[in-house]
Amino acid sequence: MKPYVYFLGIGGIGMSALARWFQANGHQVSGYDKTATPLTEALTAEGIAIHYADAVDNIPAAVRENREQTLVVLTPAIPKDHQEWAWLREQGYDIRKRSQVLGVLTEGRPTLAVAGTHGKTTTSSMLAHLLHHAGLPVGAFLGGISVNLGSNLLLPERNRKPALTTDNSQLAADTPIVVEADEYDRSFLTLYPDVAIITSTDADHLDIYGDKDALVESFRQFAGQIKPGGTLLLNHTADASVADAVGPQVRVIRYGLTKNEGPELYSSAITAEGHQFHFDLHSVAGSAMGLQLSVPGYHNVENMLAAACVAQLQGVNSDSLKAGVAAYRGVKRRFEFIVTATSRTGPKVYVDDYAHHPREIDAFLRSLRALYPGKRLRVVFQPHLFTRTRDFLAGFADSLSLADEVVLLDIYPARELPLPGITSALLLDLITAPVKSLQTKEQVLTAAQTDDSFDVLATVGAGDIDQLVPRLRSILDSKWNGTEA
């Protein structure tokens, strides 16, 4: 790899993990992003130079003066009219997509890949945690900030029993790597995993694929790239044809919550106590009884089933597995409890979640309803992408209507330009919740200060709605608990 690495879009969750890896391995890392965030600020604190104005003169001199010694890593979110990208292309720099770089880093190494239109971040973080907690050498590139690890990157030297090369930052050739395999832009087709988990194949990213059939075909291609002798764990909700695409020497394990849904991997004796779920695991690698998961939701029990089975296949025994599941604390912005309190009328709760697909929102809100039956639920949702809002308008309306009150922010455009007629107001008209409104972020904050009619507040979405979290935390913690966050 080249000594200089320059990232266009360094603040993305996947890009930042790669930036951290290169930085840990002695490369001179720098980058551009559109806006400063807590994640870019963390990268800056780690010694990575970042700027936020698109101008060729802002590219570090070392990058501009060492074309042949520089690798440029590009996120798909960078717009086509970006000045720096245009200049780097014109000058003949080696420019690669994030997925291509990830493919190079994992080439020739045992790769444990987690794919799916939803559930992949949580499941990959669970798997990395279970292996790490058991003391096995493992690296991981995650699509979220693991609460246990405090990062989206796991380097093997952080384990208790590392297996490293002489450079203690490098991944040893036989060290397994857990990778979140992203279907967007067919990025996961750069990976050739030894073990793959596919959590779901629901329609998404139709701006890329056109229709669900093309999306499923991409998952079939991904499954077909599992190495001979490898294993595919396939969720019962995923398209069954994916299993037909694997090679003849690849084992397929189907999984689900019950034996009917996952004949080779399933749970039993599921009970919920507060925020905790208790269950028994039954897999082709053996049973593990009395598991305790502190991240709520039946969908998270299902995610843990897949992660735990792969951990078993990697040599983690039942006692270590049980301890690892109990110690798992989740991923930032995945069913993350921000503020909890007890009032004379019962619990007061603020939860934040990254859900941005109708099925994810449905699972999240149904889990909240199960945890807090009869409590008044206010949901603040920021739609993500004009195309996704257009393609799943009815699904978003149905899932959000599970709440007592729905507040919509404007659509977060990300990489897209507006589409005529596709607005949050269009979605609001279809929502059947008793109370609904369009608000700005400032209005949401004002309402949290002045209106105490809810028991459970949830902020939901994949855009910049996370900017509300620290301010809502401060308001509600002060209001409910009499403290300043």
The string of pLDDT tens digits covering residues 230-276 is 999 999 999 999 999 999 999 999 999 999 999 999 999 999 887 88
Is position 120 annotated in a ligand binding site? yes
Categorize the per-residue pLDDT at 152 as very low, low, confident or very high, splitting at 50, 70 and 90.
very high
Is 336-481 in the same CATH topology as 107-327?
no
Interior CA angle at 388 toward 101 and 350, to 5°? Answer: 90
Residue 8 has pLDDT above 80, yes or no: yes
Please state which CATH number belongs to domain 107-327: 3.40.1190.10
Is position 116 annotated in a ligand binding site? yes
Between CA 29 and CA 49 the distance in angstroms is: 7
Quick one: 344 exposed, middle or buried, by C-beta within 10 A (0-12, 13-18, 19+)? exposed
Q: What is the pLDDT of residue 165?
A: 30
pTM of the full predicted structure? 0.87
The helix (H) or strand (E) run that includes residue 406 is strand 405-408
Mean pLDDT of the chain: 92
Is position 286 annotated in a ligand binding site? no
Is position 117 annotated in a ligand binding site? yes
Q: Provide the percentage of residues in the chain whose pLDDT is more than 70.
A: 95
Per-residue 3-state assignment (H helix, E strand, C coil) for 101-146: HHHHHHCCCCEEEEECCCCHHHHHHHHHHHHHHCCCCCEEEEEEEE
Please state which CATH number belongs to domain 336-481: 3.90.190.20
Q: What is the pLDDT of residue 231?
A: 98
> Do residues 172 and 160 make contact, with C-beta atoms less than 8 angstroms apart?
no
How is domain 4-96 classified at the architecture level of CATH? 3-Layer(aba) Sandwich (3.40)
Quick one: DSSP state of residue 164? B
The residue extents of the domains of the chain are: 4-96, 107-327, 336-481
Q: Determine how many CB atoms are found less than 10 A away from the CB of residue 188.
A: 28
Is position 121 annotated in a ligand binding site? yes
Is position 118 annotated in a ligand binding site? yes
Quick one: DSSP state of residue 177? E
Categorize the per-residue pLDDT at 450 as very low, low, confident or very high, splitting at 50, 70 and 90.
very high
Q: Provide the percentage of residues in the chain whose pLDDT is more than 90.
A: 78
| Residues 6 or more apart whose Cβ sits within 8 Å of residue 280 | 267, 268, 269, 287, 288, 289, 290, 291
